[in-house]
Structure 1
Amino acid sequence: MPLILIVDDDEAMRGLMRERLEDAYKIIDTGNPEEALSLALQSKPDCILLDLMMPEFSGFELCQTLASLSFTRLIPIFVITGEPAARYKDSCMNLGAKEYFEKPLNFGQLRSRLTAVLESKQHERRAEVRVRLRALLKLRGTDTSGRNFELLTTTDDVSASGFLCGCHALLERDAIVEVWLRSGGVELQVGRARMVRVEWPNTAWQRHGFRFVEKPHDWILR
């Protein structure tokens, strides 16, 4: 069963969520945000259900911390709070949250989104090893306005099938870019890659995930 970490300082709410979800998920929970960070690092849950307003260490801070750590940044975070979406949803999404639910909680909707997000996460999970490696790339493509661009960027991590990097060009999902690997002043055309995800959108940490659709030349990993 998928593992879910519930973080909420309301013990009754944690108990209710456990009761309504434990038939389909393994549950661990805590009311202490600092302990939540430790549990996330130790257990690496498949999803985190996070309250916003907690004493000492807020859900905002925890969300940002989890999104900034390489070991936890791909864990989907569902914010579950009594705070209105109109006031906080955009901020939470910019910090890395995947979903936003207001209390009282609609458990049918929550379970539906959990199923969809975890299935998507499973499909996208790469079988090969991901390596944190800084490699200099040149990307060439077309942005959302139809203008051609060419830029240099550095990878955050790489795998045999793709890479994660910063990209200041505005791209549509599924946009295709040409990729060159630069080393010692030499450029090697690697192939073409599709943009498959954006992490931490509209923040200073925004990153784009690319997966190769054509890779005729040697890449960093095989």
Structure 2
Amino acid sequence: MDRQTLDMEGARRGEISSASLQMGEDTIAVQCIATMSVESMEFSPWETATNKRAQSLYASFFVINLFFGLMALAWGGLFPGNGSSFIALVIGGVLTLLGFVLGIRAAMMARRMKRRQPYYRLVIGASDGRRIPLVDNNRDVLMRIRDVVRHKMDSGDREIRGDFDLDLDLVNLNLPTEAQKAQTLSRGPDIVPKSRQRETEVEAATAETESEVLFDQDAEIIRDAS
């Protein structure tokens, strides 16, 4: 039996850039997004045109085989003394058994086609009227994408970038600002080399000596003047 999958609707992969959102072949600016909504939906994965035709054929052959099988069994039962009655009974039994098998198969296919499974759609509406859906059976992934886009809309943060893959249920975000903060914290306080410390101390001592010399000269000048 054929089975429908969720990749038949909406984009499966996309990219979140500094100011736009790439979803499949559609690109939309973050500031042009008007609405975002997460919808809960249901679909029948086995309800395809091929499965419907196959189920219809199974049901038709069930009726035909059952009809001719019962006719053959009736012929063999009504005329037991005839030489062909045994053959009619054998053929009738085979057709009836085959009819029941086909009927069970048709019933199983019909029951499977009625099964429904939930899935979720993140519908992003643009100010130009476009509605771009993202479809997945994992609601948390869609909610994370929605929260990231909403944060970029509210704060205007252009540092958050990333990509997502709904087939793998992955949302990868690059946060340069946080990475730089973490790198700065992990680096610790700056350590001044000993050579630089020695140069600083020498410069400070030289400056102090020069100030003392100047002060002594000023004192002598004042004493001479007095």
Query: Scaled by the length of structure 2, what TM-score is found?
Result: 0.20
Query: Scaled by the length of structure 1, what TM-score is found?
Result: 0.21
**Which structure shows the bigger proportion of residues in helix conformation?**
2
Higher RCO structure (Cα 8 Å, ≥6 apart)? 2
